[in-house]
Structure 1
Amino acid sequence: MNSNHSDGPVLPAGCARPGPMSQKLFDRMSRFVYEQVGIKLPGSKRVMLEARLQKRLRVLGMASYDQYVDYLFTEKGFDEELRNFIDVVTTNTTEFFREPRHFDYLTATLLPGWTADAVRLRAQRPLRVWSAGCSIGMEPYTLAMVLRDYQERTPGFSFSILATDISSRALQQAVRAVYDEERVHNVPDQFRKRYLLRSRDRSRRLVRIGPELRSAVRFERLNFMDPFSFSEPMDIIFCRNVIIYFDKPTQEGLFSRFCQCLRPGGHLFIGHSESLTGMALPLEQVAPTVYRRTR
Protein backbone atom coordinates (compact mmCIF):
# COMPACT_ATOMS: atom_id res chain seq x y z
CA MET A 1 0.00 0.00 0.00
CA ASN A 2 1.22 3.49 -0.79
CA SER A 3 2.01 5.29 2.46
CA ASN A 4 0.22 8.39 1.16
CA HIS A 5 -3.13 6.58 1.08
CA SER A 6 -5.75 8.16 3.33
CA ASP A 7 -9.09 6.90 4.59
CA GLY A 8 -9.96 10.29 6.01
CA PRO A 9 -9.00 13.94 5.97
CA VAL A 10 -5.41 14.74 6.83
CA LEU A 11 -5.24 16.69 10.06
CA PRO A 12 -3.94 20.22 9.56
CA ALA A 13 -0.38 21.03 10.52
CA GLY A 14 -0.07 22.08 14.13
CA CYS A 15 -3.09 20.08 15.30
CA ALA A 16 -3.06 18.73 18.84
CA ARG A 17 -1.08 15.57 19.45
CA PRO A 18 -3.01 12.49 20.56
CA GLY A 19 -3.15 11.75 24.26
CA PRO A 20 -0.79 9.19 25.80
CA MET A 21 -1.16 5.55 24.81
CA SER A 22 -2.65 3.52 27.63
CA GLN A 23 -0.69 0.57 29.04
CA LYS A 24 -3.52 -1.75 28.02
CA LEU A 25 -3.38 -0.54 24.41
CA PHE A 26 0.42 -0.76 24.33
CA ASP A 27 0.27 -4.34 25.63
CA ARG A 28 -2.24 -5.20 22.92
CA MET A 29 -0.05 -3.72 20.20
CA SER A 30 3.05 -5.35 21.66
CA ARG A 31 1.39 -8.78 21.47
CA PHE A 32 0.30 -8.05 17.90
CA VAL A 33 3.84 -7.05 16.86
CA TYR A 34 5.24 -10.25 18.39
CA GLU A 35 2.67 -12.38 16.59
CA GLN A 36 3.24 -10.69 13.24
CA VAL A 37 7.00 -10.17 13.07
CA GLY A 38 8.50 -11.86 16.16
CA ILE A 39 9.78 -8.60 17.66
CA LYS A 40 9.49 -8.04 21.41
CA LEU A 41 8.45 -4.51 22.41
CA PRO A 42 9.26 -3.97 26.11
CA GLY A 43 7.39 -1.33 28.08
CA SER A 44 10.34 1.04 27.66
CA LYS A 45 9.44 1.30 23.95
CA ARG A 46 6.00 2.83 24.53
CA VAL A 47 7.14 6.45 24.07
CA MET A 48 9.03 5.47 20.91
CA LEU A 49 5.95 3.75 19.50
CA GLU A 50 3.79 6.78 20.30
CA ALA A 51 6.19 9.11 18.50
CA ARG A 52 6.49 6.90 15.43
CA LEU A 53 2.73 6.39 15.12
CA GLN A 54 1.93 10.10 15.19
CA LYS A 55 2.75 10.47 11.49
CA ARG A 56 0.42 7.60 10.58
CA LEU A 57 -2.37 9.20 12.63
CA ARG A 58 -1.88 12.48 10.75
CA VAL A 59 -1.88 10.74 7.36
CA LEU A 60 -5.05 8.82 8.19
CA GLY A 61 -6.78 11.78 9.85
CA MET A 62 -7.14 10.02 13.19
CA ALA A 63 -7.22 11.68 16.59
CA SER A 64 -6.15 8.86 18.93
CA TYR A 65 -4.09 5.68 19.14
CA ASP A 66 -7.24 3.76 20.06
CA GLN A 67 -8.87 4.87 16.81
CA TYR A 68 -5.80 3.76 14.87
CA VAL A 69 -5.70 0.31 16.50
CA ASP A 70 -9.44 -0.19 15.99
CA TYR A 71 -8.87 0.51 12.28
CA LEU A 72 -5.72 -1.65 12.05
CA PHE A 73 -7.55 -4.65 13.46
CA THR A 74 -10.33 -4.51 10.88
CA GLU A 75 -10.04 -6.59 7.72
CA LYS A 76 -9.61 -3.45 5.60
CA GLY A 77 -7.09 -1.95 8.00
CA PHE A 78 -5.11 -5.19 8.16
CA ASP A 79 -4.93 -5.32 4.36
CA GLU A 80 -4.14 -1.66 3.79
CA GLU A 81 -2.24 -0.48 6.86
CA LEU A 82 -0.28 -3.48 8.16
CA ARG A 83 2.82 -2.83 6.03
CA ASN A 84 2.90 0.81 7.11
CA PHE A 85 2.57 -0.28 10.73
CA ILE A 86 5.44 -2.76 10.33
CA ASP A 87 7.55 0.02 8.81
CA VAL A 88 6.82 2.06 11.95
CA VAL A 89 7.90 -0.59 14.45
CA THR A 90 10.99 -1.91 12.64
CA THR A 91 14.40 -0.24 12.93
CA ASN A 92 16.63 0.22 9.90
CA THR A 93 20.12 0.92 11.25
CA THR A 94 22.83 0.12 8.74
CA GLU A 95 25.93 1.39 6.96
CA PHE A 96 28.33 0.41 4.20
CA PHE A 97 31.13 -1.98 5.26
CA ARG A 98 29.63 -2.31 8.73
CA GLU A 99 31.71 -4.70 10.87
CA PRO A 100 34.53 -4.74 8.29
CA ARG A 101 36.26 -7.86 9.62
CA HIS A 102 33.49 -9.90 8.05
CA PHE A 103 34.43 -8.61 4.63
CA ASP A 104 38.11 -9.19 5.38
CA TYR A 105 37.30 -12.83 6.17
CA LEU A 106 35.22 -13.08 3.03
CA THR A 107 38.05 -11.78 0.84
CA ALA A 108 41.03 -13.44 2.51
CA THR A 109 39.60 -16.83 3.48
CA LEU A 110 36.14 -17.74 2.28
CA LEU A 111 36.34 -16.75 -1.40
CA PRO A 112 39.79 -18.27 -2.07
CA GLY A 113 38.60 -21.47 -0.38
CA TRP A 114 35.46 -21.48 -2.50
CA THR A 115 37.50 -21.03 -5.69
CA ALA A 116 39.95 -23.80 -4.75
CA ASP A 117 37.07 -26.21 -4.06
CA ALA A 118 35.42 -25.31 -7.36
CA VAL A 119 38.63 -26.07 -9.26
CA ARG A 120 39.22 -29.31 -7.35
CA LEU A 121 35.66 -30.53 -7.85
CA ARG A 122 35.39 -29.08 -11.38
CA ALA A 123 32.10 -27.52 -10.30
CA GLN A 124 31.60 -24.04 -11.72
CA ARG A 125 28.39 -22.49 -10.42
CA PRO A 126 27.43 -19.11 -8.99
CA LEU A 127 28.09 -18.41 -5.33
CA ARG A 128 24.64 -17.87 -3.79
CA VAL A 129 24.47 -15.13 -1.12
CA TRP A 130 21.52 -14.00 1.00
CA SER A 131 21.47 -10.69 2.86
CA ALA A 132 18.66 -11.35 5.37
CA GLY A 133 17.34 -8.17 6.95
CA CYS A 134 19.01 -5.95 4.34
CA SER A 135 17.41 -2.67 5.48
CA ILE A 136 18.00 0.12 2.92
CA GLY A 137 20.50 -1.88 0.89
CA MET A 138 23.91 -0.91 2.23
CA GLU A 139 24.86 -4.46 3.25
CA PRO A 140 23.98 -6.19 -0.05
CA TYR A 141 25.62 -3.43 -2.08
CA THR A 142 28.75 -3.80 0.08
CA LEU A 143 28.69 -7.52 -0.68
CA ALA A 144 28.24 -6.74 -4.38
CA MET A 145 31.33 -4.48 -4.34
CA VAL A 146 33.48 -7.12 -2.66
CA LEU A 147 32.24 -9.96 -4.86
CA ARG A 148 32.45 -7.97 -8.10
CA ASP A 149 36.02 -6.96 -7.25
CA TYR A 150 36.92 -10.59 -6.60
CA GLN A 151 35.19 -11.65 -9.81
CA GLU A 152 37.31 -9.25 -11.84
CA ARG A 153 40.43 -10.91 -10.47
CA THR A 154 39.20 -14.51 -10.63
CA PRO A 155 38.34 -16.14 -13.99
CA GLY A 156 35.22 -18.28 -13.88
CA PHE A 157 33.88 -16.87 -10.60
CA SER A 158 30.25 -15.68 -10.53
CA PHE A 159 27.70 -14.89 -7.85
CA SER A 160 24.09 -13.98 -7.12
CA ILE A 161 22.79 -11.89 -4.21
CA LEU A 162 19.28 -12.04 -2.75
CA ALA A 163 18.44 -9.24 -0.29
CA THR A 164 15.29 -9.34 1.84
CA ASP A 165 13.65 -7.18 4.47
CA ILE A 166 10.25 -6.89 6.09
CA SER A 167 10.04 -3.12 5.57
CA SER A 168 8.53 -2.07 2.24
CA ARG A 169 9.76 1.47 2.82
CA ALA A 170 13.35 0.30 3.34
CA LEU A 171 13.22 -1.89 0.23
CA GLN A 172 12.00 1.03 -1.88
CA GLN A 173 15.04 3.02 -0.84
CA ALA A 174 17.32 0.02 -1.42
CA VAL A 175 16.07 -0.42 -4.99
CA ARG A 176 16.44 3.31 -5.67
CA ALA A 177 20.03 3.03 -4.37
CA VAL A 178 20.47 6.77 -3.68
CA TYR A 179 22.26 7.79 -0.48
CA ASP A 180 23.56 10.93 1.19
CA GLU A 181 27.24 11.43 0.43
CA GLU A 182 28.10 11.27 4.13
CA ARG A 183 26.76 7.69 4.30
CA VAL A 184 29.50 6.33 2.01
CA HIS A 185 32.50 7.44 4.09
CA ASN A 186 33.32 3.78 4.93
CA VAL A 187 33.50 2.73 1.27
CA PRO A 188 37.17 2.33 0.18
CA ASP A 189 38.33 4.93 -2.33
CA GLN A 190 38.89 2.43 -5.13
CA PHE A 191 35.31 1.18 -4.77
CA ARG A 192 33.87 4.70 -4.67
CA LYS A 193 35.53 5.51 -7.96
CA ARG A 194 34.38 2.30 -9.64
CA TYR A 195 30.90 1.71 -8.27
CA LEU A 196 29.38 5.01 -7.05
CA LEU A 197 27.87 7.78 -9.16
CA ARG A 198 27.80 11.35 -7.83
CA SER A 199 24.84 13.63 -8.46
CA ARG A 200 25.36 16.10 -11.30
CA ASP A 201 24.08 18.75 -8.92
CA ARG A 202 26.95 18.63 -6.44
CA SER A 203 25.05 20.83 -3.98
CA ARG A 204 22.66 17.92 -3.33
CA ARG A 205 25.54 15.76 -2.06
CA LEU A 206 23.96 12.51 -3.19
CA VAL A 207 25.48 9.34 -4.61
CA ARG A 208 23.88 6.41 -6.40
CA ILE A 209 25.04 2.84 -6.70
CA GLY A 210 26.13 2.21 -10.30
CA PRO A 211 24.00 0.01 -12.58
CA GLU A 212 26.62 -2.77 -12.55
CA LEU A 213 25.98 -3.36 -8.84
CA ARG A 214 22.26 -2.57 -8.86
CA SER A 215 21.72 -5.35 -11.38
CA ALA A 216 23.68 -7.78 -9.18
CA VAL A 217 21.21 -7.62 -6.28
CA ARG A 218 17.63 -8.90 -6.25
CA PHE A 219 15.40 -7.40 -3.53
CA GLU A 220 12.32 -9.11 -2.08
CA ARG A 221 10.08 -8.52 0.92
CA LEU A 222 10.21 -11.29 3.52
CA ASN A 223 8.76 -11.65 6.99
CA PHE A 224 10.85 -14.14 8.99
CA MET A 225 7.69 -15.30 10.73
CA ASP A 226 6.30 -16.58 7.41
CA PRO A 227 7.44 -19.89 5.87
CA PHE A 228 10.42 -19.47 3.54
CA SER A 229 12.62 -21.75 1.45
CA PHE A 230 14.69 -21.59 -1.72
CA SER A 231 14.95 -23.76 -4.80
CA GLU A 232 18.68 -24.13 -4.12
CA PRO A 233 20.50 -23.76 -0.79
CA MET A 234 22.54 -20.68 -0.03
CA ASP A 235 26.33 -20.66 0.27
CA ILE A 236 26.48 -17.56 2.46
CA ILE A 237 23.87 -15.96 4.71
CA PHE A 238 24.43 -12.53 6.26
CA CYS A 239 21.93 -11.94 9.08
CA ARG A 240 23.54 -9.28 11.24
CA ASN A 241 22.05 -7.14 13.99
CA VAL A 242 18.58 -8.52 13.30
CA ILE A 243 17.98 -11.20 15.94
CA ILE A 244 18.64 -8.76 18.80
CA TYR A 245 14.99 -7.71 18.48
CA PHE A 246 13.72 -11.29 19.01
CA ASP A 247 13.43 -13.39 22.15
CA LYS A 248 15.64 -16.47 22.59
CA PRO A 249 13.14 -19.11 21.36
CA THR A 250 12.38 -17.05 18.25
CA GLN A 251 16.11 -16.58 17.63
CA GLU A 252 16.85 -20.30 17.83
CA GLY A 253 13.90 -21.20 15.63
CA LEU A 254 14.96 -18.65 13.03
CA PHE A 255 18.57 -19.81 12.93
CA SER A 256 17.42 -23.41 12.67
CA ARG A 257 15.48 -22.43 9.55
CA PHE A 258 18.51 -20.59 8.21
CA CYS A 259 20.55 -23.78 8.59
CA GLN A 260 17.96 -25.64 6.52
CA CYS A 261 18.53 -23.05 3.76
CA LEU A 262 22.33 -23.20 4.02
CA ARG A 263 24.42 -25.64 2.01
CA PRO A 264 26.66 -27.96 4.09
CA GLY A 265 29.97 -26.13 4.28
CA GLY A 266 28.18 -22.81 3.75
CA HIS A 267 28.73 -19.84 6.06
CA LEU A 268 26.49 -17.79 8.36
CA PHE A 269 27.55 -14.28 9.45
CA ILE A 270 25.85 -12.69 12.48
CA GLY A 271 26.34 -9.34 14.23
CA HIS A 272 29.19 -8.83 16.71
CA SER A 273 26.68 -8.08 19.48
CA GLU A 274 24.82 -11.35 18.83
CA SER A 275 25.45 -14.88 20.03
CA LEU A 276 24.41 -18.45 19.23
CA THR A 277 25.52 -19.72 22.64
CA GLY A 278 23.27 -22.45 23.96
CA MET A 279 21.51 -23.07 20.65
CA ALA A 280 21.45 -26.59 19.22
CA LEU A 281 22.44 -25.82 15.64
CA PRO A 282 24.52 -27.68 13.02
CA LEU A 283 27.14 -24.91 12.98
CA GLU A 284 30.81 -24.60 13.93
CA GLN A 285 32.49 -21.28 14.60
CA VAL A 286 35.35 -20.47 12.21
CA ALA A 287 35.93 -16.79 13.11
CA PRO A 288 34.34 -14.27 15.48
CA THR A 289 30.58 -14.28 14.64
CA VAL A 290 31.23 -16.42 11.53
CA TYR A 291 29.89 -19.98 11.44
CA ARG A 292 30.10 -22.88 9.00
CA ARG A 293 27.30 -25.38 8.40
CA THR A 294 28.49 -28.85 9.38
CA ARG A 295 28.04 -31.74 6.99
Structure 2
Amino acid sequence: MSAHPPQLRVMETPVLGPRELALFQALVEKEAGIHLSAAKDALVANRLSRRLRELGLSSFKAYYAYVTERGHEAEKVRMLDSLCTHETSFFREPQHFDLLRERILPDWAAQGAKGMRPRTLRVWSAACSTGEEPYSLAMCLLEALPPGAGWSVEVLATDLSTWALERTQQGLWDLERSRTIPQPLLKAFMLKGVRSQEGLMKAGPELRAVMRFARVNLNSEGEWPAGPFDIIFCRNVLIYFGAEARKRVIDGMLRRLSPSGYFFLGHAESLIGINADVSSVSANVYTPRARPPATHRTR
Protein backbone atom coordinates (compact mmCIF):
# COMPACT_ATOMS: atom_id res chain seq x y z
CA MET A 1 0.00 0.00 0.00
CA SER A 2 1.44 3.36 -0.97
CA ALA A 3 2.39 5.74 1.81
CA HIS A 4 1.76 8.71 -0.45
CA PRO A 5 -1.61 10.51 -0.15
CA PRO A 6 -3.89 10.34 -3.18
CA GLN A 7 -3.49 13.13 -5.70
CA LEU A 8 -6.25 15.74 -5.46
CA ARG A 9 -7.66 17.07 -8.69
CA VAL A 10 -7.15 20.83 -8.93
CA MET A 11 -10.01 22.57 -10.71
CA GLU A 12 -8.79 24.90 -13.41
CA THR A 13 -9.86 28.52 -13.15
CA PRO A 14 -12.13 29.31 -16.11
CA VAL A 15 -10.93 32.01 -18.48
CA LEU A 16 -13.18 34.91 -19.44
CA GLY A 17 -12.23 35.61 -23.04
CA PRO A 18 -13.13 38.71 -25.08
CA ARG A 19 -16.10 36.97 -26.72
CA GLU A 20 -17.61 35.85 -23.42
CA LEU A 21 -16.97 39.28 -21.87
CA ALA A 22 -18.80 40.93 -24.79
CA LEU A 23 -21.78 38.63 -24.25
CA PHE A 24 -22.02 39.54 -20.56
CA GLN A 25 -21.48 43.23 -21.31
CA ALA A 26 -24.45 43.24 -23.68
CA LEU A 27 -26.62 41.20 -21.33
CA VAL A 28 -25.95 43.34 -18.26
CA GLU A 29 -26.50 46.60 -20.16
CA LYS A 30 -29.75 45.27 -21.60
CA GLU A 31 -31.04 44.01 -18.25
CA ALA A 32 -29.78 46.67 -15.85
CA GLY A 33 -28.45 49.59 -17.91
CA ILE A 34 -24.99 49.06 -16.39
CA HIS A 35 -22.08 49.46 -18.80
CA LEU A 36 -19.16 47.14 -18.05
CA SER A 37 -16.02 48.41 -19.74
CA ALA A 38 -13.35 46.03 -21.05
CA ALA A 39 -11.21 47.14 -18.09
CA LYS A 40 -13.69 45.37 -15.80
CA ASP A 41 -12.85 41.92 -17.18
CA ALA A 42 -10.99 40.79 -14.05
CA LEU A 43 -13.82 42.00 -11.80
CA VAL A 44 -16.46 40.23 -13.90
CA ALA A 45 -14.43 37.03 -14.01
CA ASN A 46 -13.80 37.05 -10.26
CA ARG A 47 -17.41 37.71 -9.24
CA LEU A 48 -19.02 35.34 -11.71
CA SER A 49 -16.55 32.54 -10.98
CA ARG A 50 -18.38 32.03 -7.69
CA ARG A 51 -21.61 31.40 -9.56
CA LEU A 52 -19.87 28.90 -11.85
CA ARG A 53 -18.59 26.98 -8.82
CA GLU A 54 -22.04 26.98 -7.20
CA LEU A 55 -23.61 25.57 -10.35
CA GLY A 56 -20.77 23.18 -11.21
CA LEU A 57 -20.15 24.81 -14.58
CA SER A 58 -16.71 24.73 -16.18
CA SER A 59 -16.78 27.79 -18.47
CA PHE A 60 -18.24 31.27 -18.77
CA LYS A 61 -19.73 30.26 -22.09
CA ALA A 62 -21.71 27.54 -20.32
CA TYR A 63 -22.77 29.98 -17.62
CA TYR A 64 -23.98 32.50 -20.20
CA ALA A 65 -26.04 29.80 -21.89
CA TYR A 66 -27.48 28.80 -18.52
CA VAL A 67 -28.38 32.29 -17.34
CA THR A 68 -30.08 33.19 -20.63
CA GLU A 69 -32.08 29.98 -20.83
CA ARG A 70 -35.80 30.32 -20.22
CA GLY A 71 -36.76 29.39 -16.69
CA HIS A 72 -33.50 30.60 -15.15
CA GLU A 73 -34.62 34.15 -14.32
CA ALA A 74 -33.66 33.64 -10.67
CA GLU A 75 -30.07 32.97 -11.70
CA LYS A 76 -30.10 36.13 -13.82
CA VAL A 77 -31.00 38.05 -10.66
CA ARG A 78 -28.12 36.37 -8.80
CA MET A 79 -25.77 37.28 -11.65
CA LEU A 80 -26.75 40.94 -11.41
CA ASP A 81 -26.40 40.77 -7.62
CA SER A 82 -22.84 39.51 -8.08
CA LEU A 83 -21.89 42.40 -10.34
CA CYS A 84 -23.42 45.21 -8.26
CA THR A 85 -21.11 47.54 -6.35
CA HIS A 86 -22.13 48.14 -2.72
CA GLU A 87 -19.82 50.93 -1.58
CA THR A 88 -21.69 53.24 0.81
CA SER A 89 -21.60 54.85 4.26
CA PHE A 90 -23.79 56.83 6.62
CA PHE A 91 -24.03 60.52 5.65
CA ARG A 92 -21.86 59.95 2.59
CA GLU A 93 -21.15 63.23 0.79
CA PRO A 94 -22.11 65.16 3.94
CA GLN A 95 -22.68 68.47 2.15
CA HIS A 96 -25.95 67.04 0.80
CA PHE A 97 -27.17 66.22 4.29
CA ASP A 98 -26.01 69.64 5.53
CA LEU A 99 -28.18 71.22 2.82
CA LEU A 100 -31.15 69.16 3.98
CA ARG A 101 -30.70 69.85 7.69
CA GLU A 102 -29.78 73.53 7.44
CA ARG A 103 -31.97 74.77 4.61
CA ILE A 104 -34.48 72.49 2.91
CA LEU A 105 -36.12 70.76 5.87
CA PRO A 106 -36.30 73.90 8.10
CA ASP A 107 -38.03 75.72 5.21
CA TRP A 108 -40.56 72.91 4.83
CA ALA A 109 -41.11 72.77 8.60
CA ALA A 110 -41.89 76.49 8.65
CA GLN A 111 -44.22 76.17 5.67
CA GLY A 112 -46.02 73.26 7.32
CA ALA A 113 -46.46 75.24 10.55
CA LYS A 114 -48.09 78.08 8.55
CA GLY A 115 -50.34 75.73 6.59
CA MET A 116 -48.50 76.54 3.36
CA ARG A 117 -47.79 72.87 2.59
CA PRO A 118 -49.15 69.52 3.76
CA ARG A 119 -47.26 67.86 6.59
CA THR A 120 -46.43 64.80 4.53
CA LEU A 121 -43.16 63.93 2.85
CA ARG A 122 -42.13 61.12 0.51
CA VAL A 123 -38.49 60.34 -0.20
CA TRP A 124 -36.96 57.84 -2.62
CA SER A 125 -33.44 56.51 -2.08
CA ALA A 126 -32.68 54.72 -5.34
CA ALA A 127 -29.80 52.23 -5.51
CA CYS A 128 -29.71 52.27 -1.71
CA SER A 129 -27.10 49.48 -1.39
CA THR A 130 -27.04 48.17 2.20
CA GLY A 131 -29.20 50.96 3.59
CA GLU A 132 -26.85 53.55 5.05
CA GLU A 133 -28.20 56.29 2.75
CA PRO A 134 -31.97 55.85 3.31
CA TYR A 135 -31.52 55.50 7.08
CA SER A 136 -29.40 58.68 7.07
CA LEU A 137 -32.26 60.42 5.26
CA ALA A 138 -34.80 59.05 7.74
CA MET A 139 -32.79 60.41 10.68
CA CYS A 140 -32.69 63.88 9.11
CA LEU A 141 -36.42 63.84 8.39
CA LEU A 142 -37.45 62.67 11.84
CA GLU A 143 -35.19 65.24 13.48
CA ALA A 144 -36.67 68.16 11.52
CA LEU A 145 -40.21 66.91 10.90
CA PRO A 146 -41.18 64.78 13.91
CA PRO A 147 -44.47 62.86 14.09
CA GLY A 148 -45.19 64.73 17.32
CA ALA A 149 -45.50 67.92 15.25
CA GLY A 150 -48.01 66.27 12.96
CA TRP A 151 -45.63 65.16 10.20
CA SER A 152 -45.95 61.91 8.28
CA VAL A 153 -42.80 60.88 6.40
CA GLU A 154 -41.98 57.87 4.23
CA VAL A 155 -38.57 56.78 2.97
CA LEU A 156 -38.62 54.28 0.12
CA ALA A 157 -35.35 52.33 -0.19
CA THR A 158 -34.84 50.45 -3.45
CA ASP A 159 -32.02 48.52 -5.05
CA LEU A 160 -31.41 46.08 -7.87
CA SER A 161 -29.55 43.68 -5.57
CA THR A 162 -31.74 41.36 -3.52
CA TRP A 163 -28.79 40.69 -1.18
CA ALA A 164 -28.28 44.41 -0.49
CA LEU A 165 -32.00 44.98 -0.02
CA GLU A 166 -32.18 42.19 2.57
CA ARG A 167 -29.36 43.88 4.48
CA THR A 168 -31.24 47.19 4.29
CA GLN A 169 -34.40 45.61 5.69
CA GLN A 170 -32.42 44.13 8.59
CA GLY A 171 -31.24 47.61 9.59
CA LEU A 172 -28.20 46.08 11.30
CA TRP A 173 -24.58 47.19 10.89
CA ASP A 174 -21.16 46.92 12.50
CA LEU A 175 -20.86 49.55 15.22
CA GLU A 176 -17.73 50.96 13.58
CA ARG A 177 -19.90 52.28 10.75
CA SER A 178 -21.51 54.71 13.21
CA ARG A 179 -18.47 57.00 13.12
CA THR A 180 -19.95 59.19 10.36
CA ILE A 181 -23.35 59.62 12.06
CA PRO A 182 -23.72 62.93 13.96
CA GLN A 183 -23.77 62.13 17.68
CA PRO A 184 -27.23 63.64 18.41
CA LEU A 185 -28.78 61.52 15.64
CA LEU A 186 -26.86 58.41 16.66
CA LYS A 187 -28.14 58.69 20.24
CA ALA A 188 -31.69 59.50 19.17
CA PHE A 189 -32.27 56.84 16.54
CA MET A 190 -29.78 53.94 16.79
CA LEU A 191 -29.63 51.07 19.28
CA LYS A 192 -26.32 49.65 20.49
CA GLY A 193 -26.10 45.87 20.49
CA VAL A 194 -25.49 43.96 23.73
CA ARG A 195 -24.63 40.35 24.55
CA SER A 196 -24.99 38.30 21.34
CA GLN A 197 -25.19 41.53 19.28
CA GLU A 198 -22.26 43.30 20.89
CA GLY A 199 -20.30 45.28 18.30
CA LEU A 200 -23.43 45.90 16.23
CA MET A 201 -25.96 48.70 16.00
CA LYS A 202 -29.56 48.52 14.89
CA ALA A 203 -32.06 51.02 13.53
CA GLY A 204 -34.48 52.03 16.25
CA PRO A 205 -38.26 51.67 16.02
CA GLU A 206 -38.79 55.31 14.96
CA LEU A 207 -36.61 54.75 11.89
CA ARG A 208 -38.17 51.41 11.03
CA ALA A 209 -41.65 52.91 11.19
CA VAL A 210 -40.97 55.24 8.24
CA MET A 211 -39.01 52.84 6.01
CA ARG A 212 -40.41 51.03 2.95
CA PHE A 213 -38.47 48.62 0.73
CA ALA A 214 -38.70 47.35 -2.85
CA ARG A 215 -36.49 45.72 -5.46
CA VAL A 216 -36.35 48.12 -8.39
CA ASN A 217 -34.42 47.84 -11.64
CA LEU A 218 -33.65 51.41 -12.70
CA ASN A 219 -33.38 50.23 -16.30
CA SER A 220 -37.03 49.12 -16.28
CA GLU A 221 -39.26 52.11 -15.58
CA GLY A 222 -42.34 49.89 -15.48
CA GLU A 223 -41.06 48.59 -12.11
CA TRP A 224 -40.60 52.04 -10.60
CA PRO A 225 -42.71 53.40 -7.76
CA ALA A 226 -45.30 56.03 -8.55
CA GLY A 227 -44.57 59.64 -7.66
CA PRO A 228 -44.57 62.33 -6.72
CA PHE A 229 -41.60 62.40 -4.37
CA ASP A 230 -40.41 65.43 -2.45
CA ILE A 231 -36.80 64.21 -2.46
CA ILE A 232 -35.07 61.71 -4.77
CA PHE A 233 -31.53 60.53 -4.05
CA CYS A 234 -29.95 58.74 -7.02
CA ARG A 235 -26.29 59.01 -6.17
CA ASN A 236 -23.21 57.20 -7.42
CA VAL A 237 -25.05 54.67 -9.56
CA LEU A 238 -25.57 56.41 -12.90
CA ILE A 239 -21.79 56.58 -13.39
CA TYR A 240 -22.08 52.87 -14.21
CA PHE A 241 -24.78 53.42 -16.84
CA GLY A 242 -24.42 54.02 -20.56
CA ALA A 243 -25.34 57.49 -21.83
CA GLU A 244 -28.75 56.49 -23.22
CA ALA A 245 -29.80 54.61 -20.08
CA ARG A 246 -28.52 57.44 -17.86
CA LYS A 247 -30.67 59.99 -19.67
CA ARG A 248 -33.71 57.72 -19.54
CA VAL A 249 -33.37 57.22 -15.77
CA ILE A 250 -32.92 60.92 -15.05
CA ASP A 251 -35.89 61.89 -17.22
CA GLY A 252 -38.06 59.31 -15.46
CA MET A 253 -37.03 60.45 -12.01
CA LEU A 254 -37.63 64.11 -12.75
CA ARG A 255 -41.14 63.20 -13.88
CA ARG A 256 -41.69 61.69 -10.42
CA LEU A 257 -40.36 64.73 -8.57
CA SER A 258 -42.86 67.14 -7.02
CA PRO A 259 -42.76 70.76 -8.32
CA SER A 260 -41.10 71.87 -5.07
CA GLY A 261 -38.90 68.76 -4.76
CA TYR A 262 -35.16 68.18 -4.86
CA PHE A 263 -33.13 65.74 -6.96
CA PHE A 264 -29.70 64.64 -5.70
CA LEU A 265 -26.95 63.10 -7.82
CA GLY A 266 -23.54 61.82 -6.71
CA HIS A 267 -20.38 63.93 -6.68
CA ALA A 268 -19.12 62.41 -9.94
CA GLU A 269 -22.43 62.85 -11.77
CA SER A 270 -24.16 65.79 -13.42
CA LEU A 271 -26.90 66.76 -15.86
CA ILE A 272 -24.41 67.98 -18.47
CA GLY A 273 -25.65 66.91 -21.88
CA ILE A 274 -29.15 66.22 -20.57
CA ASN A 275 -31.85 68.74 -21.45
CA ALA A 276 -33.59 68.86 -18.06
CA ASP A 277 -35.96 71.66 -17.04
CA VAL A 278 -34.38 72.16 -13.62
CA SER A 279 -32.39 74.73 -11.68
CA SER A 280 -29.17 73.98 -9.83
CA VAL A 281 -29.49 74.52 -6.07
CA SER A 282 -26.06 73.32 -4.98
CA ALA A 283 -23.41 70.92 -6.25
CA ASN A 284 -25.30 68.03 -7.88
CA VAL A 285 -28.64 69.12 -6.38
CA TYR A 286 -31.51 70.26 -8.60
CA THR A 287 -35.10 71.45 -8.33
CA PRO A 288 -37.73 71.84 -11.06
CA ARG A 289 -37.49 75.23 -12.75
CA ALA A 290 -40.37 77.50 -11.80
CA ARG A 291 -42.64 78.12 -14.76
CA PRO A 292 -44.14 81.58 -15.30
CA PRO A 293 -47.92 81.74 -14.98
CA ALA A 294 -49.86 81.22 -18.19
CA THR A 295 -51.00 84.37 -19.93
CA HIS A 296 -54.09 84.75 -22.09
CA ARG A 297 -54.09 86.97 -25.10
CA THR A 298 -57.02 89.39 -25.21
CA ARG A 299 -58.71 90.21 -28.43
Using structure 2 for the length normalisation, give the TM-score.
Answer: 0.88
Residue aligned with 1:162, SS: strand
Displacement of 1:60 after TM fit?
Answer: 1.3
Paired residues of 1:283 and 1:294 also in contact (CA < 8 A): yes
Match for residue 40 of structure 2?
45
- Identity score, percent: 35
Match for residue 211 of structure 1?
205
Match for residue 276 of structure 2?
281
Residue aligned with 2:71, SS: helix
Out of 112, 116, 126, the position equivalent to 1:118 is 112
Determine whether 1:175 maps to 2:131: no
Q: How does 1:1-295 map to 2 (within 5 A)?
A: 15-77=10-72, 79-152=73-146, 155-201=149-195, 204-228=198-222, 229-295=224-290
Q: Distance in 1 between matches of 2:113 and 2:205?
A: 30
Unpaired runs of 5+ residues, structure 1, are 1-12
Query: Which residue type is aligned with residue 235 of structure 2?
Result: R
Displacement of 1:125 after TM fit?
Answer: 3.4
Q: Distance in 1 between matches of 2:174 and 2:212?
A: 22
Larger radius of gyration: 2
Unpaired runs of 5+ residues, structure 2, are 1-7, 291-299
* Deviation digits for residues 152-172 of structure 1 (CA, Å, limit 9, x no counterpart): 498233311111110000000
Q: Distance in 2 between matches of 1:14 and 1:214?
A: 50
Displacement of 1:202 after TM fit?
Answer: 7.1
Displacement of 1:248 after TM fit?
Answer: 2.1
Residue aligned with 2:221, SS: coil
Query: Which residue type is aligned with residue 205 of structure 2?
Result: P
Query: Which residue type is aligned with residue 62 of structure 2?
Result: Q
Match for residue 297 of structure 2?
none
Paired residues of 1:124 and 1:156 also in contact (CA < 8 A): no
Using structure 1 for the length normalisation, give the TM-score.
Answer: 0.89
Q: Which moved more, 1:284-293 or 1:153-162?
A: 153-162
C-alpha change, 1:192 and 1:44, in structure 2 (3 Å) is: same
Pairwise CA RMSD: 2.0
Paired residues of 1:115 and 1:157 also in contact (CA < 8 A): no
Displacement of 1:204 after TM fit?
Answer: 4.8
